[in-house]
Structure 1
Amino acid sequence: MSKQSAKDNPPGSFLNKGRPYDFQFVHFKVSGAGFCIAVDEVKEIIPYSPPARKPRAMEGMAGFVELRGISVPLIDIRKRFSLPSSGQRPAKILIVRFEGRIAGIIADEVIDVEHKTIGAEGGARILTITTSEILTPEEKRFFDSPYTG
């Protein structure tokens, strides 16, 4: 049985098409809830630093952090999905790539980089989403600095 690649499964699709699928992801938590994002979307993980606010920031945006001279907009998953406060101070920012741009996702903790084989007989089903899918068109316009490096 041949294995599928990430290109065989568009974002938002269920990965259980009868062939095993190797999937690597970063597992992180926000407000006690677990989230995963594909490793190939994550550019780097940096320590949390309080964001600078900009006027007219969208509701799910926390502000910006400076990263090597680039102003990186931050996505606050807690606000985006109306999660309760955990009382835990955010610890990390996942710097992610999407549609030629970069963003930061605020995480209470990063658990691990994990590898799973998905879709084998009796195997797990997983719904994949991308950073691009959790943002509205208006929010995407908020990201005004294309990733060039």
Structure 2
Amino acid sequence: MAYLLLDVAGTPCALAQSEVREVLPLPHLHRPPAAGSMLAGFVDLGGVSLPVLDLARLLGLRESEPAPDPYRHLLLAADRGAVLLVDRVQDLVQVPPEAIRPVDGDETLNGCVLAGIAHGGALIHVLAMARILTARERGRVAELTAREAARFADLTVA
């Protein structure tokens, strides 16, 4: 199976390639004042504002805003429902089944870590895109996204 290897605040993580539609360079993000710390802002993709979630802050790996880094990456979810901000996409690797170590879903918040993969002498956490946010967090992000869409609609020229 193919995985994207990620650097998230110095912590190696991975996502299945099938969960990511596209890897994008970091553009300028619009960040409304009430966004909170986990929401890095919104990005306009094809006329649709999508929420950009700071994965390091979501996972509790970084408490404050990092220094500006134009080489950070955005990961567009396969369902186009969200975008994750990571420090780097480091590689795309094929992982044989015997290198995948299952993780008990009860051991991680919302079961967001599915497995570990043995790679380069380390065990890398494999994240589940759909489980990175709790149901409550998804609801709050949906509210903010709806507000952002309404603000944008008010600015649209007829």
Tell me the TM-score normalised to structure 2 length.
Answer: 0.64
Q: What residue ranges of structure 2 are gaps of 5+ in the alignment? A: 103-114, 116-125, 147-158
Identify the residue that residue 101 of structure 2 maps to in structure 1: 125
Structure 1 Cα separation of the partners of residues 68 and 90 of structure 2: 15
Structure 1 residue 44, shift from structure 2 partner: 0.4
Matched, 1:95 2:73: no
Matched letter for residue 129 of structure 2: T
Structure 1 residues 118 and 111, CA, compared in 2 at 3 Å: closer, same or farther?
A: same
Identify the residue that residue 3 of structure 1 maps to in structure 2: none
Q: Where do 1:19-58 residues align within 5 Å? A: 23-58=1-36
Structure 1 Cα separation of the partners of residues 83 and 37 of structure 2: 15
Matched letter for residue 83 of structure 2: G
Q: More helix by proportion, 1 or 2?
A: 2
Structure 1 residues 103 and 125, CA, compared in 2 at 3 Å: closer, same or farther?
A: same
Structure 2 Cα separation of the partners of residues 64 and 44 of structure 1: 16
Structure 1 residue 78, shift from structure 2 partner: 1.6
Matched, 1:109 2:107: no
Q: Deviations over 1:97-132 (max 9, x none)?
A: 3xx55211112111111111123xxx4415143112
Aligned length: 118
Identical amino acids, percent of aligned pairs: 27
Q: Displaced runs of 4+ in structure 1, greater than 3 A?
A: 84-88
Higher relative CO (CA 8 A, sep ≥ 6), structure 1 or 2?
1
Structure 2 Cα separation of the partners of residues 88 and 115 of structure 1: 31
1:45 is paired with a residue whose SS is strand
Matched letter for residue 53 of structure 1: R
